[in-house]
A and B are shown apart, each in its own frame.
Chain A
Amino acid sequence: MAKVKLNFAEALCKGCFLCADACPKKILELNEDKVNQKGYNPIHCTDEGACIGCAMCAVICPDSVIGLERE
């Protein structure tokens, strides 16, 4: 399967975790090592190779943080 590239607009993330809950592969987590301008730990992907590109995370994200591209 072609590789999927995830783009996170980290500055917009409010750490609501809806994307991580919706992800069927459970590869999204809050990045505890980072704080964005809004003061939240932004979401990040722990294993991009496992992403199947279903875009469920992007569909449920209220703040349009996540974009997906297929290489």
Chain B
Amino acid sequence: MAIIYEKSKGLTERPLTYCPGCSHGIVHKLIAETLVELNLLDHTVAIAPVGCSVFAYDFFNCDGVQAAHGRAPAVATGIKRVAPESIVFTYQGDGDLAAIGTAETIHAAHRGENITVIFINNAIYGMTGGQLAPTTLVGQKTSTSPFGRNVAHQGLPIKVCEMLAAIPSSYYLERTSVHDVPHIRKTKAAIKKAFQYQVDGKGFSMVEILSGCPVGWNVSPVESMKFIKEQMMPYYPLGVYRDGGAEI
């Protein structure tokens, strides 16, 4: 019997605590598979954020720390500097990375810290009940914007990749999506590239992943994948925003 697909050794046996159809599970698998394939699992430290993925350190089969809200890149900086042989990645949502943690993210990129940031952009605060996030789309209804996001009131959604692309010391930035299998495969390739750059000591790498939050958006999991494709992708174009390795 040849195995075509099995659960990654990079994940623990603990069942995921996410809602049905949540994209966190898909991205967890991709990171776990990448760490196994690059043979990094035994010296990787995961930095969990505040949010739905606060227990991420329970799910990855590597060391883990949970950081204060938004401070994951700062904690990652500390760990990477005292243990430079470790592979350090942060796993953050949009409320964590693009709201309370904007400063930490921008400064980590400016310092060119040799860490990898996995940024889950699902355009909403999932854990606290579907409130408006910095990345919520214009017109999108949330529990704190029941008539849709209004630019006059809440401003425009933050495009994190575009913002960080202006920083010369950010080495690799890519935005991908997990709304279907081909894009999941591309996302895995991007995650793998980001980790490889860290292994090679190149500097700050971030993969922004457009993800679904079916419960927060009040849609079915299948409809949430359509929402990513039809609503999120036009505002958040996929692609590589910075790749230091490609310019050479």
A residues touching B (Cβ–Cβ < 8 Å)?
4-5, 9, 11-12, 14-18, 21-22, 40, 53, 55-56, 58-64, 66-71
Chain B 196-214 interface residues, beta-carbon cutoff 8 Å to A: 214
A68 to B3, CA, bound (A): 6
Whether the pair A40, B20 counts as a contact (CB closer than 8 A) is yes
Chain B 1-42 interface residues, beta-carbon cutoff 8 Å to A: 1-8, 11, 15-16, 18-26, 28-29
Instruction: Closest B residue to A68 by CB, please name it.
Output: B4
Whether the pair B181, A70 counts as a contact (CB closer than 8 A) is no
A60 to B2, CA, bound (A): 20
Whether the pair B222, A21 counts as a contact (CB closer than 8 A) is yes
Partner of A62, one of B5, B25, B180: B25
Interfacial chain A residues near B26, Cβ < 8 Å: 60-62
Interface pairs (19), CB distance under 8 Å: A5-B1, A15-B20, A16-B20, A16-B21, A17-B221, A22-B180, A40-B20, A60-B26, A61-B25, A61-B26, A62-B23, A62-B26, A63-B15, A63-B16, A67-B3, A67-B7, A68-B5, A69-B2, A71-B1
Interfacial chain B residues near A59, Cβ < 8 Å: 5, 181, 184-185
Given A55-B4, A62-B28, A68-B6, 5 more A-B residue pairs with CB atoms under 8 Å apart are A14-B20, A17-B21, A17-B222, A40-B20, A62-B16
Which DSSP category, helix, strand, loop or mixed, fits chain A's interface?
Answer: mixed
Whether the pair A55, B23 counts as a contact (CB closer than 8 A) is no
Whether the pair B4, A69 counts as a contact (CB closer than 8 A) is yes
Interfacial chain B residues near A11, Cβ < 8 Å: 15
Most buried by A among B2, B21, B29: B21
Interfacial chain A residues near B97, Cβ < 8 Å: none
The answer, yes or no, to whether B220 is at the interface (CB within 8 Å) is yes
Interface residues of B, count at CB 8 A:
31
A61 to B11, CA, bound (A): 14
Interfacial chain A residues near B4, Cβ < 8 Å: 4, 53, 55, 58, 68-70
Task: Output the least CB separation between A50 and chain B (Å).
Answer: 15
Q: A62-B18, A62-B21, A64-B29 are in contact. Are A18 and B5 (CB under 8 A)?
A: no
Whether the pair A12, B15 counts as a contact (CB closer than 8 A) is yes
The answer, yes or no, to whether B120 is at the interface (CB within 8 Å) is no
Task: Output the least CB separation between B180 and chain A (Å).
Answer: 7
Interfacial chain A residues near B184, Cβ < 8 Å: 59-60
The answer, yes or no, to whether B225 is at the interface (CB within 8 Å) is yes
Interfacial chain B residues near A67, Cβ < 8 Å: 3, 5-7
A70 to B16, CA, bound (A): 27
Whether the pair A60, B16 counts as a contact (CB closer than 8 A) is no
Interfacial chain A residues near B19, Cβ < 8 Å: 14
Instruction: Closest B residue to A11 by CB, please name it.
Output: B15
Interfacial chain A residues near B18, Cβ < 8 Å: 62-63
Chain B 92-149 interface residues, beta-carbon cutoff 8 Å to A: none
Instruction: Closest A residue to B21 by CB, please name it.
Output: A16
A40 to B180, CA, bound (A): 23
